[in-house]
Amino acid sequence: MRAAQILEQQKPLYIGEVPDPTPGPKDVIVRVEACGVCRSDWHAWMGDWDWIGLSPQLPIIPGHELGGVVEAVGKEVKNFRPGDRVTTPFHEGCSHCANCLSGHSNRCDNMAIFGFSYDGAYAEYVKVPNGDFNLIRLPDEVDTLTAAAIGCRYMTGYHGVVRGNVQPGNWLAVHGAGGVGLSSVQVASAVGAMVIAVDVDDAKLAKAKEEGAVAVVNARKENVVEAIKEITKGGAHASIDALGIRDTILNSVLSLRKGGRHVQIGLTTKDEGGMVGLPIDAITAMELEIVGSIGNPHAAYDGLLTMIAQGRLNPSSLVSREVALDDVSGILEDMTNYNTFGFNVITKFR
C-alpha cells in the first residue's frame, strides 16, 4: 500500500510503498477514504509530548482522523463485515478496564493512539485493533469525509462543550480558532450558547463568526480578559482553551465569571513542557472549576452522529481543503507557523 511515514522528526515525510497491514483475530482492516491532518500529528512530527509518553518510535505512519470502509476482519470479529462504512476514535480502548466498562473509553487505562502507539491512517489501509469495541458504524447520512472531520478535533470540541456544562444562553469563550476551537464554536452555538472566539488571525475569527460565534476578540489587538468581561458583562460562564499555550490558558481562566468553568483541551508544547502556573487565589475566591477534556468516549458517539445526521451539526463545513498524500509534509510545515485554516483532509492516496 502507499503511505506517508515519519522517518525523522521535523523532516519531510517518506511517501511510498509499505507492507499492507494484516488483521489479528480481533482486528479490522479499514480501507481509508479520508484522513484529516491534525495538529496532534504535527506534535508527533515535531517530537513533542515525550513528558506524557506520546513521542512515537520511528518510523511510524501518522494519522488518526479517519473515515473508510471495512476491507477485512479477524476471525473473532463479530459486529463488522467487509463493506461496512466506519470511523473510529483516535483513542483506542481495551474494552475491559474500569473506564471502558463505565463508558469512559476516552480515558482507558490501556489507551493506544493511532500514529503514536502504532501505525495510523496516512495510508491506503489501517489496522484497527479490537475492532468490535473500537469501530463506530456510520449512519447512511454521514459520509467518510465527514467521518474524518469528526475523528479527533471535532469530537474533541464536542466533548469539551459537554465537559464545560455549557447551557443555552451561557457565554462560552473559545481560545484558539483552529480545528478544535472552530468545532467547539459550532457545537456550542448549536446548543444555544453565546460564543466568543479568540485568536490572533482575523480570517480564522471571520470563520468562527460563520460557524456561530456572536463576538470575536483578536488577541493581538485587544486585552483578551478585559474584552471578554466587557462583552459578557462580568465574565464567561465557561471557557475552553484549545491551544495549550501559557497565555491562552491564563486568559481562559481569568476571563471567567464567579463559578465559571475552564476546560483544558489543548496539550502544551515544549515551551510549557506540561506545566503552567495558575491564579490559585482567584480560583479559590471565585470558586472556579478547572476540568480536563480528552477526545470523546465511544458511548457519546450516538448523540454526536445523530446531530450530524439530522443536520444540526455540520463538521464538513470546517473542511477547508481536500489534499493528496503527497501534500502532507507541506501542511505540517505550515502548522509550525499556524498557517493552516480549518481541516485539511487527505482524500487522494495515489
Q: Per-residue pLDDT for the chain (350 aa), expressed as one digit of tens each? A: 999 999 999 999 999 999 999 999 999 999 999 999 998 899 899 888 877 777 899 999 999 999 999 999 999 999 999 999 999 999 999 999 999 999 999 999 999 999 999 999 999 999 999 999 999 999 999 999 999 999 899 999 999 999 999 999 999 999 999 999 999 999 999 999 999 999 999 999 999 999 999 999 999 999 999 999 999 999 999 999 999 999 999 999 999 999 999 999 998 887 888 899 999 999 999 999 999 999 999 999 999 999 999 999 999 999 999 999 999 999 999 998 888 888 999 999 99
Domains of the chain: 2-154+296-348 (3.90.180.10), 165-292 (3.40.50.720)
The answer to whether 237 and 174 are in contact (CB under 8 A) is no
Residue 31 · residue 1 · CB < 8 Å: no
All 3 cell numbers of residue 165? Answer: 456544562
| DSSP label of 150 | I
Helices (H), the chain: 39-46, 98-101, 131-134, 144-149, 155-163, 179-190, 202-210, 224-232, 246-254, 280-285, 301-309, 328-336
Q: Which amino acid is at 142?
A: V
Contact 191, 162 (CB under 8 A): no
Which is nearest to 21 in space by CA: 36, 40, 6, 1? 1
